[in-house]
């Protein structure tokens, strides 16, 4: 199991967290996503390492910006 934290900008509320979580959960292999809006941290748990480009694309699809690993 792999756990990776990312920094995301632009999230301000629970709806933001829900949108990001839903998109990231759609990535193959992702088993859990935790979003902390105040810190902008998104923690992704997966069976194998997930390509950062896939996480970036999912976050952007939700309307936010992935700035990199936390």
pLDDT (mean) for 40-51: 96
Query: Helix (H, G, I), strand (E, B), or coil: what is residue 56?
Result: helix
Instruction: Enter the DSSP assignment of 25.
Output: H
Rounded CA Rg of the chain: 10
Given a contact cutoff of 8 angstroms between Cβ atoms, the answer to whether 41 and 61 are in contact is no
Q: How far apart are alpha carbons 50 and 45 in whole angstroms?
A: 9
> Residue ranges per domain, the chain?
2-69
CATH 3.30.70.260 fits 2-69, yes or no: no
Query: How confident is the model over 13-45, as pLDDT tens digits?
Result: 999 999 999 999 999 999 999 999 999 999 999
């Amino acid at each position: 199991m792999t756990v990776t934290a990312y920094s995301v900008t632009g999230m301000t509320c629970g709806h933001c967290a829900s949108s990001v979580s839903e998109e990231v959960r759609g990535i193959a292999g992702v088993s859990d996503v935790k979003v902390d809006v105040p810190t902008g941290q998104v923690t992704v748990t997966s069976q194998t390492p997930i390509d950062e480009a896939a996480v970036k694309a999912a976050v952007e699809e939700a309307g936010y910006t992935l700035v990199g690993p936390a």
